[in-house]
Chain A
Amino acid sequence: MDKNKFRILNYFSIIMLGLIVLLPVAVMAAETPLMSLDAAKSAIEQAQRAGAEQQALEDLSAAKSWLALAEKAFTAANSVMAMISTSKTKKAKEEEVIYLATMAKIKALTAEAIAKKFTTAAKLKDTMKDLSDYQSAIVVMKDKQQQAEMAKEVQAKAEAERKHLGESQRVAEEIEAQKRKELLEAQRKTAELEVLKQREIQEARLKELEREKEAAQAKLKDEQMSAQRAKEVMEIKAGEEKLSAEKMKLAAMQTKLQVLEQEKAMLTAAGKIPKVTARAEDKKIVMTILAIHLFTSANDLSPAGKEILDSVAIFLKTYPNNKVVARGHTDSQGKAAANQALSEKRAQKVREYLVAYQNISPNRITAEGVGSAQPAATNASEAGRALNRRVELTVLIGE
């Protein structure tokens, strides 16, 4: 029994010792209403500092409301009436305060988190924008660098090509120089050949000229001989021509002599015709018959006039190949037109008679009137006017 008592006493001692050690710690660690209130206030202040008034006003207001309720409950719990209340009631009131303060604290923490979330989201947005800008810049820079590298490559390629081109140009220049040299050599040789050729040509030309000279001299000699012969022929021809001309001249003179003889004969024959005055002009015989002997006052042929014309016809028939022109003339009295008509009428009358009554060919004789245009004598006197009123029969010789 003593052993059991001792054991129980030991257990009791251990329990008591545990209670002595743990209870004060538990009491000290236990949350008091005041601590809860302070924590809630602190959380609300922190939320406000985080900008909850702008970004999480609803939760912040809720936190404040919960805090107000907690403070009210705290005041009630510490009132005089509460002091005299039972410990059970007091504990319940303290728990109520702690609960309300805890709610206020949680709401404040929530408001703070939401506010911070807004701030963080804004920062995130800005940062993402910055990142996007930087990434765009990177892309641009990379592009630029790529372009620069490509440009470098192109430049390097161009440089290589330029070098290659320079080399090619140098080679080309060398070739060109070589060609120029060859060309000069060829030109020199050509010039030499040309000189030789010219010399040969000149020599050949000289020989040819020599030959030509000889040929020319021979030709000249031939031509001189030919010219001599031609001259002789020409002289012969000229003599012949001169002889021929002389012959022709002689013939012409003979013809003229014949004409003159004919003219003389005709003039003599014509002069024998009564009432007819004949005169010789250049290759023609003009027979003048006064109008007073030919026409009546009515300008018809008078019988005496017909007889004269019969004699004239005999004369004309003697020389059947000679053409005849019957030309009427008047004096200047009266109108010119009337005189012209009268002269034509008288000439026509003479022609008609010779053709109709003396069988003179109409093709052989023509008639015309000249009015008073060719007077044979002055028209100032009656005698002169009588001489002017006439018909002239012109017989052409040698036509």
Chain B
Amino acid sequence: MLFMKRSILLGVVFYFLGFAATFTGVLWAEGISPAQEQEFTDAKGALEAARNVQAEKFAPSYMKQAEEFLQTARNAKQIPDTAGFSRASLLARAYAELAEAVAKLEIDVEKLAATNDALQKAKAEIEQLKNKP
């Protein structure tokens, strides 16, 4: 019972703290630097590169994360929240790069599977040819 009370209190406290922090960030916000803008642009580029290798098909969760963080960055830019903008941009770029790497890996895995399949068929065909009278 005591644990539940503490949890409720903590939840309420965090809720209000988050709310206050949001307004505090708005009040203390500074301008977006060119370097931060570049990070955002890099994130968009990484996302585009990931799309080019069909990352939405092969790594949908990471792509979703990247897109969400890119959107978060956009939102942070509107406020503006420079720290949040920077973090979200970096996270978006990192997730996009991860999605791209995973997509590339999956493409090769698919190719490998197809090749293995073809190889097995070839082996089977060879066996069949061997056994052919």
Cβ contacts under 8 Å, B26 to chain A: none
A243–B87 alpha-carbon span in the complex (Å):
181
The yes or no answer to B63 lying at the interface (CB within 8 A) is no
Cβ contacts under 8 Å, A88 to chain B: 17, 20-21, 24
Would B11 and A27 count as touching, CB distance under 8 A?
Answer: yes
Interface string of B89-121 (1 = CB under 8 A from A): 011001101100110110011011001101100
Would B111 and A131 count as touching, CB distance under 8 A?
Answer: no
The yes or no answer to B13 lying at the interface (CB within 8 A) is yes
Per a CB cutoff under 8 Å, which of A114, A134, A145 touches B119?
A134
Cβ contacts under 8 Å, A120 to chain B: 105, 108-109, 112
The yes or no answer to A138 lying at the interface (CB within 8 A) is yes
A26–B17 alpha-carbon span in the complex (Å):
16
Per a CB cutoff under 8 Å, which of B8, B98, B111, B118 touches A110?
B98
Cβ contacts under 8 Å, B101 to chain A: 110, 113-114, 117
Give how many B residues have a beta carbon under 8 Å from the other chain's beta carbons. 39
A120–B116 alpha-carbon span in the complex (Å):
12
Interface of B is mostly: helix
Would B126 and A113 count as touching, CB distance under 8 A?
Answer: no
Given A102-B91, A120-B105, A142-B129: A134 and B8 within 8 A (CB)? no
Cβ contacts under 8 Å, B132 to chain A: 145
Per a CB cutoff under 8 Å, which of A91, A106, A127 touches B98?
A106
Chain A residue nearest to B116 (CB atoms) is A127
Would B105 and A106 count as touching, CB distance under 8 A?
Answer: no
The yes or no answer to A265 lying at the interface (CB within 8 A) is no
Shortest distance from the beta carbon of A287 to any chain B beta carbon, whole Å: 143
The yes or no answer to B125 lying at the interface (CB within 8 A) is yes
A10–B95 alpha-carbon span in the complex (Å):
45
A73–B4 alpha-carbon span in the complex (Å):
30
Would B98 and A124 count as touching, CB distance under 8 A?
Answer: no
Shortest distance from the beta carbon of B110 to any chain A beta carbon, whole Å: 10
Given A124-B108, A127-B119: A141 and B126 within 8 A (CB)? yes
Cβ contacts under 8 Å, A27 to chain B: 7, 10-11
Would A91 and B14 count as touching, CB distance under 8 A?
Answer: yes
Would B115 and A124 count as touching, CB distance under 8 A?
Answer: yes
Given A19-B11, A102-B91: A87 and B17 within 8 A (CB)? yes
Given A91-B21, A109-B98, A113-B102: A23 and B91 within 8 A (CB)? no
Chain A contacts to B: CB under 8 angstroms: 19-20, 23-24, 26-27, 87-88, 91-92, 99, 102-103, 106-107, 109-110, 113-114, 116-117, 120-121, 123-124, 127-128, 130-131, 134-135, 137-138, 141-142, 145
A sample of 17 cross-chain residue pairs with beta-carbon separation below 8 angstroms, ordered by A number, consists of: A23-B10, A23-B11, A24-B3, A24-B4, A88-B17, A99-B87, A106-B97, A109-B98, A113-B98, A113-B105, A114-B105, A116-B105, A117-B101, A127-B112, A127-B116, A134-B122, A141-B126
Given contacts A117-B101, A121-B108, A127-B119, 5 further A-B contacts (CB under 8 A): A103-B94, A113-B102, A114-B105, A137-B122, A138-B122
